[in-house]
Amino acid sequence: MAETATHIDIPCQRCKVRNRAICAALDDEQIVDLNAISEHITLERERTVFFESDPADYLYNIIDGNVRIHKSLADGRRQITGFLYSGDFLGLSVAGVYPYSAEVITTTTMCRFSRKGMTKIIERYPAFEHNLLQLASHELAAAQEHVLLLGRKTAAERLCSFILNTAEKQIGGISDQRAKLPMTRQDIADYLGLTIETVSRTFTRLKKTGTIRLPEPDTIEIANFQQLEDLALGEAAA
Amino acid sequence: MAETATHIDIPCQRCKVRNRAICAALDDEQIVDLNAISEHITLERERTVFFESDPADYLYNIIDGNVRIHKSLADGRRQITGFLYSGDFLGLSVAGVYPYSAEVITTTTMCRFSRKGMTKIIERYPAFEHNLLQLASHELAAAQEHVLLLGRKTAAERLCSFILNTAEKQIGGISDQRAKLPMTRQDIADYLGLTIETVSRTFTRLKKTGTIRLPEPDTIEIANFQQLEDLALGEAAA
DNA sequence: CGATTGCTTGACTGGGTTCAAGGCCAGTGG
DNA sequence: CCACTGGCCTTGAACCCAGTCAAGCAATCG
C-alpha cells in the first residue's frame, strides 16, 4: 500500500471524540491539516483552563473529563454558565478575549488549536466555520434556556431541568435512567442560581416524592421520569 | 457615466442601518446580490414576527423599531431574553426552527431575507458567514451576562444593569445620560426575572437615592452615573 | 484517629411576590 | 367640556420561598 498522507499515523483519525466534536466537519484527508495545529493537554481537577478577559489564543475540544465555565461579580458571587462534557467545544471569543473563565472539574484531557492556525483552516475549509456557527447557535439556544430557568423557574423546577439535561449529556443518553454528577453541590447551586442548602433540601424532597433516587451523593437515578419531566417543564400539578 | 450595476438604484446601498447590520460584511457590489433576496416588512405594535419552534424560513434585520424575544412555560410564565433595536439582527435558528418567539414592541420595519437565498449568498461570500459567527458569539456572551444577572444579582443590581445596557444601545450611546424605554414595566419585569411591582418599587428607590430621574415613566435620566455603574456591577457599598 | 471536606438538616430571617387599592393619563362619547 | 373607561404604573400590607446562620454527619486523608 502506498504511503500517502492519509495512511501516515494521524492521531486525530483515531480520536475518541472524532465524530462528536467540531472535527466532524472535516473528512479524513482534511483533518490532517487540523492535526498539524492541534496538541493535547491534560489538566488536573480544579485547574484553570483560562480566565475571563484573557486573550483568546486557543480553541479547545474536550476529549475526556469535565469543564465548568463561569462569570463572577466583584464581591465573589459566582454564576456557572455551563458544564461541558467530552466532545464539547470551548473557546468562542468576543473581541479577541474569552467572555468567561473555564476550569476543569475532574482531570481533563483536551485538544487545543491555536486561533491563528484555525483561521487558516477556515480559509481553506469554509465548512469548518459553518460548523462553528451551528455550534454557536446551539450554545446560544442553551443559554436562553438557562435564562428561562433562572428567571422563571422554582428551585424544584430548576433542579429537575438540571437533572434531565445532565442525564441527556452523559454517554449512553438518558435511556439508562442514571446520571453521574461530576460537580459539587456548590457548583450545582452556582449553576442554578440557588444556595447549596436549597439544592440539598430539594434533592431530599425529590427523593421523598419518589421522583429520583440518590444511591450516592454523586449518582442520580431517575425513579419517575414523567414526574421529573413535568416538574422540569413547569407542568407539575399545582 | 456608464450605467453599471453599482449605479442602478440599490435600496440596500442607502439603507439607514447599512453599516451597523450584518450587511456591513458585504461591499457595495456584493450587496446587490443581497438586495435581490431581501424585502421590507412593517409590523404594528404587539404583532408577532414568529413563534418559538416555527420553521426558520427567514432572517431579519431591524431597520427601525423595537422587538422583544421571549420563551414561555406551559402555565404562561414568560421570560424575555432580549430587546432588539434598529440595526440588530434576528433569526438564528437551531435544527431549522426558531428557539424563541419574537414580537414587535413599537411599529417596526424590518429587512427580511429568505434562508434559502441566504445560503447561496454565504456560498459566494464566506465573509458573510464569518460575520454571522461573530454576531452569534456576541449574542452568546450577552446571554451569559443575562444568566449572571438572573442568577446572582439583586433586584436593584438587575435594574441598574438593564438601564445601563439600554442606554448604551440607544442611538447616541450613553453619552447624553438619557434613555427611552420603549417597553412596558411588565416587559422589564419579564426580562429581569422580577414582578412588575418590584420593578416599580426599585425605580422609586433609585429615584430617591438620586441615582436616576424619571421625568416620564418611559424616559430615564442618569443622575449619578458612578452610583448606577457600581450598583450594576454589584460593587455598591454594602 | 483527629482533621478536613462535602453534604444534609433545622430554625429563623428577609427580599421579593402576592394580593389589593389607588393614582395618572389618554381616548371616547354624551 | 367633563364624566367614564381602560391601560399602565405606583404604593401598601401580608406572606412565602429561598437565603442565612448554625449544627451535625459521613467519608476521606494525612
Q: Say if residue A113 is in the same domain as residue A193.
A: no
Which of A147, A191, A199 to substitute to test the interface with B, most B CBs within 10 Å? Answer: A147
- Grid coordinates belonging to B215: 421625568
Q: How far apart are the C-alpha atoms of A182 and A129, rounded to whole Å?
A: 31
Percentage of chain B modeled with pLDDT above 90: 76
B24 band by pLDDT with thresholds 50, 70 and 90: confident
What's the pLDDT tens digit per position in B47-89? 999 999 999 999 999 999 999 999 999 999 999 999 999 999 9
Q: What is the dihedral of CA B124, B128, B133, B137, to 10 degrees?
A: 180
∠A158-A159-A161 over CA atoms, to 5°?
65
Choice among A47-61, A104-118, B31-45, B163-177 with the minimum mean pLDDT = B163-177
What contacts A235, CB < 8 A, 6 or more positions away? Answer: B73, B74, B75
B112 backbone dihedrals φ, ψ, rounded to 5° = -120, 130
Q: Nearest-CA distance from A220 to chain B in Å?
A: 24
Q: Please, where are the H alpha helices in chain B? A: 31-37, 115-124, 126-152, 155-169, 185-192, 196-208, 225-232
With an 8 Å Cβ cutoff, is B146 touching chain A? yes
Q: Is the CB of A150 under 7 A from strand C?
A: no
Q: Say if residue A145 is in the same domain as residue A159.
A: no
B223 band by pLDDT with thresholds 50, 70 and 90: very high
Separation of CA A184 from chain center = 15
Residues in chain B: 238
A157 CA vs D22 C1’ separation (Å):
28
Q: What is the pLDDT of residue A174?
A: 64
Q: Please, where are the H alpha helices in chain A? A: 31-37, 115-124, 126-152, 155-169, 185-192, 196-208, 225-232
A5 band by pLDDT with thresholds 50, 70 and 90: very low
SS3 B29: coil
B5 band by pLDDT with thresholds 50, 70 and 90: very low
What contacts A134, CB < 8 A, 6 or more positions away? Answer: none
Last-in-domain residue among A134, A149, A164: A149
Q: What average pLDDT does range B164-171 have in this prediction?
A: 88
Q: How far apart are the C-alpha atoms of A134 and A130, rounded to whole Å?
A: 6
| pLDDT greater than 60 at residue A4 | no
Which nucleotide has its C1' atom closest to residue B197's CA? D10
Q: Say if residue B114 is in the same domain as residue B181.
A: no
Strand C, nucleotides < 7 Å from a protein CB: these are 6-11, 15-20
Please provide the average confidence, as pLDDT, over all residues in chain A.
91
Q: Say if residue A183 is in the same domain as residue A125.
A: no
- Of B78, B103, B101, whose CA–CA distance to B186 is shortest? B78
Choice among A218-232, B17-31, B113-127 with the minimum mean pLDDT = B17-31
| pLDDT greater than 60 at residue B2 | no
Distance set, CA B24 to CA B12, B127, B135 (Å): 10, 10, 12
Q: What is the pLDDT of residue B7?
A: 57
Q: What average pLDDT does range B145-152 have in this prediction?
A: 98
Percentage of chain A modeled with pLDDT above 70: 94
Which of A148, A154, A157, A231 to substitute to test the interface with B, most B CBs within 10 Å? Answer: A148
The CATH number of residue A85's host domain is 2.60.120.10
Answer yes or no: is B162 within a domain: yes
Q: Say if residue A217 is in the same domain as residue A133.
A: no
Last-in-domain residue among B119, B149, B179: B149
Residue B21's DSSP bridge partners are none
Q: What average pLDDT does range B178-188 have in this prediction?
A: 95
| pLDDT greater than 70 at residue B175 | no
Q: Is the CB of A197 under 7 A from strand C?
A: yes
Q: Say if residue B143 is in the same domain as residue B166.
A: no
Strand D CB-contacts below 7 Å: A 154-156, 193-195, 197-198; B 184-186, 196-197, 199-201, 203-204, 214, 217-218
Answer yes or no: is A238 within a domain: no
| pLDDT: which is higher, A145 or A174 | A145
Write out the H or E segment, with its range, that includes residue A69.
strand A67-72
| pLDDT: which is higher, A1 or A66 | A66
Which of B115, B124, B144, B192 to substitute to test the interface with A, most A CBs within 10 Å? Answer: B144
Q: What is the pLDDT of residue B15?
A: 85
The CATH number of residue A183's host domain is 1.10.10.10
| pLDDT greater than 70 at residue B172 | no
Q: What is the dihedral of CA B78, B82, B88, B89, to 10 degrees?
A: -60
∠A63-A66-A72 over CA atoms, to 5°?
130
Percentage of chain A modeled with pLDDT above 90: 77
Angle A185-192/A196-208 helices, nearest 10 degrees? 100
- Grid coordinates belonging to A77: 458571587
| pLDDT greater than 70 at residue A8 | no
Last-in-domain residue among B149, B178, B204: B149
B195 backbone dihedrals φ, ψ, rounded to 5° = -105, 160
Contact B73 A138 (CB under 8 A): no
SS3 B81: strand
A181 CA vs D30 C1’ separation (Å):
27
Angle A196-208/A155-169 helices, nearest 10 degrees? 80
Q: What is the pLDDT of residue A177?
A: 86
| pLDDT: which is higher, A35 or A172 | A35
Q: What average pLDDT does range B221-234 have in this prediction?
A: 95
| pLDDT greater than 90 at residue A213 | yes
Percentage of chain B modeled with pLDDT above 70: 94
Please provide the average confidence, as pLDDT, over all residues in chain B.
91
Answer yes or no: is A193 within a domain: yes
A3 band by pLDDT with thresholds 50, 70 and 90: very low
What residues in A contact B92, CB-CB < 8 Å? 137, 140
Q: How far apart are the C-alpha atoms of A8 and B69, rounded to whole Å?
A: 51
Distance set, CA B28 to CA B19, B88, B123, B128, B209 (Å): 11, 20, 18, 14, 51
What's the pLDDT tens digit per position in A19-65? 887 888 888 888 888 888 999 999 999 999 999 999 999 999 999 99
Of B77, B137, B146, the CB nearest to A92: B137
Q: Say if residue A103 is in the same domain as residue A13.
A: yes
Contact A73 B141 (CB under 8 A): no
Residue numbers of the domain that contains A14: 5-149
B226 band by pLDDT with thresholds 50, 70 and 90: very high
Q: Say if residue B117 is in the same domain as residue B199.
A: no
Contact A144 B94 (CB under 8 A): no
Strand D, nucleotides < 7 Å from a protein CB: these are 8-13, 17-22
Q: What average pLDDT does range B174-179 have in this prediction?
A: 77
Q: Say if residue B140 is in the same domain as residue B190.
A: no
Q: How far apart are the C-alpha atoms of A89 and B140, rounded to whole Å?
A: 14
Answer yes or no: is A237 within a domain: no
Q: What average pLDDT does range B172-201 have in this prediction?
A: 91
∠A99-B233-B66 over CA atoms, to 5°?
75
With an 8 Å Cβ cutoff, is A236 touching chain B? no
Q: What is the pLDDT of residue B174?
A: 63
A2 band by pLDDT with thresholds 50, 70 and 90: very low
Q: What is the pLDDT of residue A195?
A: 98
Chain A residue with Cα closest to B232: A73
B2 backbone dihedrals φ, ψ, rounded to 5° = -65, 145
Separation of CA A56 from chain center = 18
SS3 B57: coil
Q: Could you give the number of structural domains in chain B? A: 2
What contacts A193, CB < 8 A, 6 or more positions away? Answer: A79, A150, A158, B150, B151, B152
| pLDDT greater than 50 at residue B1 | no
**What is the sign of the dihedral through the CA atoms of A30, A32, A33 and A38?**
positive
A218 band by pLDDT with thresholds 50, 70 and 90: very high
Answer yes or no: is A125 within a domain: yes
A212 band by pLDDT with thresholds 50, 70 and 90: very high
